[in-house]
Amino acid sequence: MRNSNIDLYGNGVSTGLDQTALGRIATGLTPQDVILSAADKSVLQRLGERVASLAGTAEMEEKRRLWKGHNALAGNRPLVFCDPENGWNEIITDDLMECTGRLARRWEMDLRKEIFWGEEMGDDRPVEASFVVPYTVLPDDWGLKTVFHHSELADGAQSWEGPLQDYDRDFPKLRAPRVQVDWETTRGCLALAREAFGTTLDVQLQGTWWWSLGLTLPAVMLRGLTNLLMDFAAQPDELKALLSFVSNAHLQKLDELEREGLLSLNNNGTYVGSGGFGYTDELPGSGFDGHVRCRDLWGFAESQETVCVSPDMYAAYVFPYEQPILARFGLNCYGCCEALDARWQTVKRHHNLRRVSCSPWADLGKMAACLENKYILSLKPNPVELACEAINEEQLRAGLRRALEITRGCVVEIIMKDNHTISKRPEHVTRWCRIAKEEALRAGGE
């Protein structure tokens, strides 16, 4: 599952419409949080110039071309992408950071990631000469409040209490969330970014309002995981009512975002689905006049929380309420960590499906036979391979080679993600990328 690091003015990725934006309003801010000092601005300008220089190289243009062909099912060699996620904190450590302000440090981290991708990572991710400022918004209000209990450990687990404990009593209290943009903060951040980067980077206000449009994560946050799974057998009608409510709330949110002009194209270097990038000439859709509609975008849904639910129950309870959401989009991605081989006959009915996740828990042979060269097979090696103090390169190479033999004839991308640690060894990710690229080239294609 993609991490949901929604930080002040951050460029993290949210996990659903219940946590919509890439920024949030926070209280108790000091002036230092929202002002760029001259020293911090100088650091950002210098790093921005490095990003712009990398983005303009022939290498990056070639990577963009490869992703466009890949997304068009052109049959190039398997493409490789690595996002270490939490492992970034072990690559770009505090001693490498120069800025002191909270906002400046968040932006510095974003720039240093781009530079690492462009200079050291060795995967197929292009660097772009742009800097995205997200909207700052209030969290979605579903009418019921989920209560979280955090571990005493700094990065420990957390539990939560689903507030929808009794359908008869609590369901009427639910309401569809509305978009609530803090325009003062949003415009202030945009102005600061333009001041910091000038004409070096293309500063864009960009709305990425969801990572996934899946139904079951918001439902689980409201109902609780155990309760929701029991509902499939004990309260099936109530479960359908809940999933229908979440689906309609998503659709209303999409209507509002589209009507208010808050959507942004993702047919570029935007991360789409649970792996891969949006580069394509197939979007935006016909009749596009500059006002972005859902039909001009990649969409994405998954249902990881129902991984233990039978294919028939998924088809009866989940799919019917996903379907009208993904029907709004020009191209679609589906799946993340859940195995899809058993429910593929239902999943494949989604509108304009193009990218399909193949997690470490899926039957790779079955997935390859199902997808053939008609969809992108988004292969997810197990991230635990990079968590050890010393990686086993021979084992890594053998595993990738075996996977690429099984998927020969498919349109494959190899995505390393969901890393909680890389054992404080940045060389793990760079070495994995080099091995993966070597095996991708060996498998054939460009």
Q: What is the pLDDT of residues 108-120, one digit of tens each?
A: 999 999 999 999 9
CA angle 78, 82, 83 (to 5 degrees): 145
pLDDT at position 23: 38
Per residue in 119-171, pLDDT tens?
999 999 999 999 999 999 999 999 999 999 888 776 678 889 999 999 999 99
Tokens of 192: 């600061």
Domains of the chain by start residue, with CATH:
17-443 (3.20.20.210)
Q: What is the mean pLDDT of the segment spanning 36-64?
A: 97
Helix, strand, coil percent values for the chain (each to nearest 5): 45, 10, 45
| 398 vs 401: CA distance, rounded Å | 5
CB 412 within 8 A of CB 358: no
pLDDT at position 20: 29
Q: What is the dihedral of CA 239, 242, 248, 251, to 10 degrees?
A: -90
Q: Is the pLDDT score of 40 beyond 70? A: yes
Tokens of 60: 């990056």
Residue with tokens 């803090």: 182
pTM comes to: 0.92
